[in-house]
A = this chain, B = another copy of it.
Amino acid sequence: MDTLLPLADRAAGLLRARGETVAVAESSAGGLVCAALLAVPGASAYFRGGAVVYTRDARRALLGIPDAALDGVPPNSEPLAALLAGAARDRLGATWGLGETGAAGPTGNRYGHAAGRACLAVAGPLARSATLESGDADRQANMRLFGAELLRLLIGALEGG
């Protein structure tokens, strides 16, 4: 969590200054984005909630994303990240939604993506998405990296808006 805290603190300050809120749908980042955002005192002002949705079942059960919608986007893609971000935003009534899907490692995923690849998205007044490849198979390092990059994407959207 520690490497994400300065980013969460910066995002929190921007959200608070704008009177806006955020909701999160994390997959391989595993909850670290939620934890970093909640670690900032006074988080209830801007943090609406989050879902750790590593499986299709969890995406349906927690975020209400129908299988047909998941079938309509490629696995581990920016469109899937955007779908997760939008679902978190809608479900939790937040200004911004964050979505992440990736392969943290130590092995790649069954779709042929190498460990260290993640797709990230921000939904909201501005939409952003990104793909990163760390070239690293360290699962915990990738979880932190994916989480940090997702917070950076949010900060970029907040500063650009």
Contacts and interface: CB of A to CB of B under 8 A. Distances in A.
Contacts of A106: 41
A31 interface: yes
Interface of A: 1, 5, 24, 26, 28-35, 37-39, 41, 43-44, 47-55, 57-58, 61-63, 91-93, 104-107, 139-140, 143
A37 B104 CA distance: 13
Contacts of A32: 1, 31-32, 35
A93 B139 CA distance: 26
Nearest to A62: B62
B52 A24 contact: yes
A51 to B, nearest CB: 6
